[in-house]
């Protein structure tokens, strides 16, 4: 909180601590970085985003180097949530010797179509 107050022009975010119990109950900085794995899935992430926004946080999403199923879940959550800041979900290209089934185009990644989280994602595994 002291750092955020000392430099209000520099946005500071909760990251790994955003999923800790009670972390979103009161605002201590500008934004909360939510992760699908840390929040327990889509429903947990949407609930955490609701609590974060109620406490005055801007919300955005990031990956914990999830595979395509985790990224697809985060993309579907982002489509429902409409994050307040740019999210960091374009991480599948970091896996060596793997094609990225959800590549960004013009800085955006569309949620995959099809039933469930999307067609063809299991082939990556």
Domain of 49 in residue numbering reads as 2-124
32, 19 in Cβ contact below 8 A? no
pLDDT digits (tens, 9 = 90+) for 54-83: 999 999 999 999 999 999 999 999 999 999
CATH number, domain of 61, equals 3.20.20.120
Confidence label for 96 from pLDDT (cuts 50, 70 and 90): confident
Q: What is the pTM of this model?
A: 0.88
Domain count, the chain: 1
Rounded CA-CA distance 117/73 in Å is: 6
pLDDT digits (tens, 9 = 90+) for 1-50: 777 778 778 888 999 889 888 999 989 889 999 999 999 999 999 999 99
pLDDT, mean over the chain: 92
pLDDT, position 10: 86
pLDDT, position 8: 77
Q: Calculate the CA dihedral of residues 39, 25, 12, 70 and round it to 10 degrees.
A: 10
């Amino acid at each position: 909180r002291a750092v955020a107050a000392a430099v209000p022009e520099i946005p500071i975010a909760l990251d790994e601590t955003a999923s800790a119990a009670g972390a979103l109950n009161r605002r201590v900085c500008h934004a909360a970085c939510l992760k699908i794995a840390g929040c327990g899935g889509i429903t947990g992430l949407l609930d955490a985003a609701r609590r974060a926004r109620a406490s005055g946080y801007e919300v955005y999403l990031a990956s914990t180097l999830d595979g395509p199923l985790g990224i697809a879940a985060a993309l579907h959550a982002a489509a429902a949530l409409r994050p307040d800041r740019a999210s960091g979900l374009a991480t599948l290209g970091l896996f060596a010797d793997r094609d990225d089934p959800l590549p960004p185009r013009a800085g955006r990644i569309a949620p995959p179509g099809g039933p469930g989280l999307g067609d063809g994602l299991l082939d990556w595994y």
